[in-house]
Amino acid sequence: MGGLPGSPPVAFPTVKPEVVVEIETDERAEFARYRHRPKVKRVRGDLSPERLVRAGR
């Protein structure tokens, strides 16, 4: 579930990761969210989702 603080939750479907991309983000702001949308810098064809470590795991 996702959504803004104080708003009703928003459901979203999970997807199977198939492509790895490199992103650019600004510093985190309140509520542990980015102030602006992350920007896709490039597709990482040299990496596969299976090779990446998930955050917090």
- 26-56 tens-digit pLDDT: 776 666 667 778 899 999 999 999 888 776 5
Answer whether residue 6 is part of any domain. Answer: no
How many independent structural domains does the chain possess? 1
Answer whether residue 16 is part of any domain. Answer: no
pLDDT at 48: 92
Which among 26, 49, 52 has a CA at the least distance from the CA of 39? Answer: 26
Answer whether residue 1 is part of any domain. Answer: no
The more confident residue out of 10 and 27 is 10
Its domain, for residue 44, covers 21-51
Answer whether residue 36 is part of any domain. Answer: yes
Give the integer Cα–Cα distance in Å for 9 and 4. 8
The more confident residue out of 35 and 7 is 7
pLDDT at 7: 85
Answer whether residue 44 is part of any domain. Answer: yes
Model confidence band, residue 12 (pLDDT cutoffs 50, 70, 90) = confident
- Kindly tell me the burial class for residue 45, based on how many C-beta atoms sit within 10 Å of its own C-beta (0-12, 13-18, 19 or more): exposed
